[in-house]
């Protein structure tokens, strides 16, 4: 069981392969149960949600066994968006929340994300302690103190009402034709219901999960189908979620796609004008486009950058008292409403802007000119460290020298997959491709997959 379990967003991997096995999930449940069961004088609770992957059944049962073995009472939510777990953890006064999902990954992957009693994802320190307990083992509780498991049938309805409450009071979506792509994932029922209840004409896509088709040629990682549907139906806008609905991308009436940077730019400007933006800043990661930073500066606002991962965005928001942040990939975090990224909630904020301004999506989703940015991924073998190779380091140093003063180079390991992510940004597109390709080739030359 050696090796680090937690990545940038919980534990993730291929289902039925280490670390994503039923045995490991049971041990994680027991470890987390022991970590959060701080005393024996009251009832201790955990809420567990999942997306639509077939392996979710297996991990749900294994986690339940682990938690109940330590005396924790388990409340099973079934398929709900990740932000619903954060919300219901606090609403149900639970000690811990768990989401079983690999987010935007294909069906054969799965993951386990933990939320603390405050509804926020766990700190690195908390994850390290749970991991220590996994490796050392946990003493089960006595037979008379084993926890119970209860299925909660109205979890998604509680979340629906919470999300609807964030939409401006008295406003409706009447007259708006909205394509909603749920990626055959956790929001396949929730998102269309919210939009319909607010008055939109809803055209659903990716709402027929079968355990295997989550994120399969649909959702925020593949917007082609949704874009084609927007154009074919003459829709005003498309909203694309990922498998666990904590990400969103927007498609305008022409079929063009806008990422999280453009959505955050719109929200930051509107919130600043309304006096709602706390701290005069937007929090985003090092991946966000330089054009976003320049745009915010013209509005008298700052861009606070963090490491990649919405968890680090939220940590900075809480430290600095900021209430808006997110990632280029579409995680949008609004701590006035939610403890984590919420794709549906962010989509509603965009729709509210359309209703209030009367402007089309094509205008509202184009807030700044992006600086050309190129990202390529290189897969490497288990146990390898391509970035530690001197030849790779030399190529990276040369690419950084060439970009100095006109752009930037970002090299990082993925926290969820065995990938090296190589990203460069500069107005000189010839230099852009040369810098990225040189690093990619260097990494490939020392990697064996």
Give pLDDT tens digits for 124-174.
899 999 999 999 999 999 999 999 999 999 999 999 999 999 999 999 999
Predicted local distance difference test score (pLDDT) of residue 249:
98
22-58 pLDDT, tens per residue? Answer: 999 999 999 999 999 866 566 899 999 999 999 999 9
Mean pLDDT of 296-315: 94
pLDDT digits (tens, 9 = 90+) for 213-261: 999 999 999 999 999 999 999 999 999 999 999 999 999 999 999 999 9
- Between 160 and 311, the more confident residue is 160
Domain 260-348, CATH class in plain words: alpha beta
- Domain 163-256 listed as CATH 2.60.120.10: no
Say yes or no to pLDDT of 294 above 50: yes
Query: Structure tokens of 288?
Result: 């966000």
Do 250 and 365 touch, CB atoms closer than 8 A? yes
Catalytic positions, written as ranges: 103
> The domain 373-446 belongs to what CATH superfamily?
Alpha-D-phosphohexomutase, C-terminal domain (3.30.310.50)
User: Would you say the CATH fold of 373-446 matches that of 6-153?
Assistant: no
DSSP-derived 3-state class of residue 124: helix
* Interval 396-408: pLDDT, tens: 999 999 999 888 9
Q: Where are the domains of the chain?
A: 6-153, 163-256, 260-348, 373-446
Residue 1: per-residue pLDDT: 43
Q: 30: Cβ–Cβ under 8 A, 6 or more apart, which residues?
A: 66, 67, 69, 70, 133, 138, 140
Tell me the residue ranges of DSSP E strands in 71-209.
73-79, 96-100, 109-115, 149-151, 177-181, 201-205
Predicted pLDDT of residue 4: 84
Total count of residues recorded for the chain:
449
Q: What's residue 114's pLDDT?
A: 96
With 0-12 CB in 10 A as exposed, 13-18 as middle and 19+ as buried, what is 139? exposed
- Superfamily classification of domain 6-153: Alpha-D-Glucose-1,6-Bisphosphate, subunit A, domain 3 (3.40.120.10)
Say if residue 129 is exposed, middle or buried (CB neighbours under 10 Å; 0-12, 13-18, 19+): middle
pLDDT for the residue 383: 79
CA separation for the pair 202, 191 (Å, rounded):
10
> What CA–CA distance (Å, rounded) separates 428 from 402?
11
- Report pLDDT for 41: 61
Q: Provide the pLDDT for residue 414.
A: 82
Q: How many CB atoms lie within 10 A of CB 177?
A: 17
What is the dihedral angle through the alpha carbons of 212, 217, 222, 223, rounded to the nearest 10 degrees?
Answer: -120
């Amino acid at each position: 069981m050696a090796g680090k379990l937690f990545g940038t967003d919980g534990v993730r991997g291929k289902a039925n392969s280490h670390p994503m096995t039923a045995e490991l999930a049971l041990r994680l449940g027991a470890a987390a149960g022991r970590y959060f069961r701080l005393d024996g004088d009251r009832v201790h609770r955990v809420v567990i949600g999942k997306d639509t992957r077939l392996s979710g059944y297996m991990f749900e049962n294994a986690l339940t066994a682990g938690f109940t073995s330590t005396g924790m009472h388990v409340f099973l939510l079934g398929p709900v968006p990740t932000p619903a777990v954060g919300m219901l953890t606090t609403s149900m006064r639970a000690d811990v929340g768990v989401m079983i999902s690999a987010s935007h990954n294909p069906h054969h992957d799965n993951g386990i994300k933990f939320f603390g009693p405050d509804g926020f994802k766990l700190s690195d320190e908390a994850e390290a302690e749970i991991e220590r307990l996994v490796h050392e083992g946990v003493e089960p509780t006595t037979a008379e103190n084993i926890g119970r498991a209860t299925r909660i049938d109205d979890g998604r309805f509680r979340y629906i009402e919470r999300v609807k409450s964030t939409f401006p009071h008295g406003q409706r979506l009447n007259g708006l034709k909205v394509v909603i792509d749920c990626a055959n994932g956790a929001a396949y029922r929730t998102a269309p219901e919210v939009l319909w209840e607010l008055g939109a004409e809803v055209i659903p896509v990716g709402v027929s999960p079968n355990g295997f088709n989550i994120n399969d040629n649909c959702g925020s990682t593949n917007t082609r189908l949704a874009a084609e549907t927007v154009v074919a139906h003459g829709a005003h806008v498309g909203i694309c979620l990922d498998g666990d609905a904590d990400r969103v991308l927007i498609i305008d009436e022409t079929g063009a796609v806008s990422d999280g940077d453009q959505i955050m730019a719109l929200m930051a400007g509107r919130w600043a004008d309304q006096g709602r933006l706390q701290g005069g800043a937007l929090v985003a990661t090092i991946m966000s486009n330089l054009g976003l930073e320049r745009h915010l500066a013209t509005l008298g606002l700052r861009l606070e950058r963090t490491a990649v991962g919405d968890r680090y965005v939220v940590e900075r928001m809480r430290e600095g008292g900021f209430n808006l942040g997110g990632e280029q990939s579409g995680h949008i975090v609004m701590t006035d409403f939610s403890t984590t990224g919420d794709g549906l909630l962010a989509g509603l904020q965009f729709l509210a802007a359309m209703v209030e301004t009367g402007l089309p999506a094509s205008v509202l989703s184009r807030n700044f000119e992006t600086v050309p940015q190129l990202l390529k991924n290189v897969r490497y073998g288990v146990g390898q460290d391509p970035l530690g190779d001197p030849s790779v380091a030399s190529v990276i140093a040369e690419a950084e020298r060439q970009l100095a003063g006109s752009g930037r180079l970002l090299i990082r390991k993925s926290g969820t997959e065995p990938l090296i992510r190589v990203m460069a940004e500069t107005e000189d597109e010839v230099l852009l491709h040369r810098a990225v390709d040189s690093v990619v080739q260097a990494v490939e030359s020392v990697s064996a997959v």
